[in-house]
Chain A
Amino acid sequence: MIEGILVEGLIYGILALGVFITFRILDFPDLTVDGSFPLGAAVMVKCLLTGIPLWISFIIVFICGGIAGSITAIIHNKLKVPSLLASILTMLMLYSINMRILKAPFVSLNKISTLLTKFSTLITPVTTDRAVSYLLIFILIVTVLIIILNNFFHTDLGLALGALGDNEQMIISQGMNPEHLKIIGLALSNGLVAIAGSFIAQYQKFSDINMGIGVVIIGLASVMIGELVVKSNKIIFLLSRVILGAIIYRGILFLSRPLLIYPTDHKLFTGILIIIILAVTALKKKGSSNG
Chain B
Amino acid sequence: MVKLKNINKIFNINTINENHVLKNINLEVNKGDFITIIGSNGAGKSTLFNAISGNQPLTSGEIFLNSNNITFVKEHLRSKYIGRIFQNPLLGTAGKMTLEDNMIITRSKGFKKLKISLNNKIRNEFKEKLKILDMDLENRLKDNVGQFSGGQRQALTLLMMVLSNPELVLLDEHTAALDPRNAQKVLDLTAKFIDEYSLTAMMITHNMEHAIKYGNRLLMMDKGEIILDISGQEKSNLTVEELIQKFHDIRSENFINDETLLS
User: Quick one: closest B residue to A24, CB to CB?
Assistant: B96
**Alpha-carbon distance A170/B115, docked complex (angstroms):** 20
**Alpha-carbon distance A233/B141, docked complex (angstroms):** 13
Measured between beta carbons, the chain A residues less than 8 angstroms from B62 are none
* Secondary structure type dominating chain B contacts: loop
* A214, CB-defined interface residue at 8 Å: no
The segment out of B12-20, B24-32, B72-80, B196-204 that lies at the interface is: B72-80
Are the C-beta atoms of B113 and A157 separated by less than 8 Å? yes
Are the C-beta atoms of B91 and A162 separated by less than 8 Å? no
**A162-192 interface mask toward B, CB cutoff 8 Å, 1 = contact, 0 = none?**
1100110111111111101000000000000
With A156-B115, A156-B117, A160-B112 in contact, do A174 and B97 touch (Cβ < 8 Å)? no
User: Quick one: closest B residue to A164, CB to CB?
Assistant: B94
- B91-142 with Cβ < 8 A to chain A: 91-98, 101-102, 104-106, 109-118
User: Quick one: closest B residue to A152, CB to CB?
Assistant: B114
The segment out of B37-45, B82-90, B225-233 that lies at the interface is: B82-90
Are the C-beta atoms of B109 and A174 separated by less than 8 Å? yes
**Alpha-carbon distance A159/B145, docked complex (angstroms):** 14
Are the C-beta atoms of B97 and A175 separated by less than 8 Å? no
Are the C-beta atoms of A159 and B86 separated by less than 8 Å? no
Are the C-beta atoms of A170 and B94 separated by less than 8 Å? yes
Point out the residue from B79, B84, B94, B114 that lies within 8 Å of A162, measured CB to CB.
B94
Number of interface residues of A (CB under 8 A): 24
* Secondary structure type dominating chain A contacts: helix
* A127, CB-defined interface residue at 8 Å: no
A258 to chain B, nearest CB (A): 40
Measured between beta carbons, the chain A residues less than 8 angstroms from B111 are 175-177, 180
Measured between beta carbons, the chain A residues less than 8 angstroms from B117 are 156
B79 to chain A, nearest CB (A): 5
Are the C-beta atoms of B79 and A170 separated by less than 8 Å? no
Point out the residue from A170, A176, A180 that lies within 8 Å of B93, measured CB to CB.
A170
Q: Which 6 A-B pairs have the closest CB atoms?
A: A175-B109, A166-B94, A156-B112, A175-B80, A163-B94, A160-B112
Interface residues of B (CB under 8 A from A): 74-77, 79-80, 83-84, 86, 90-98, 101-102, 104-106, 109-118, 144, 161, 164
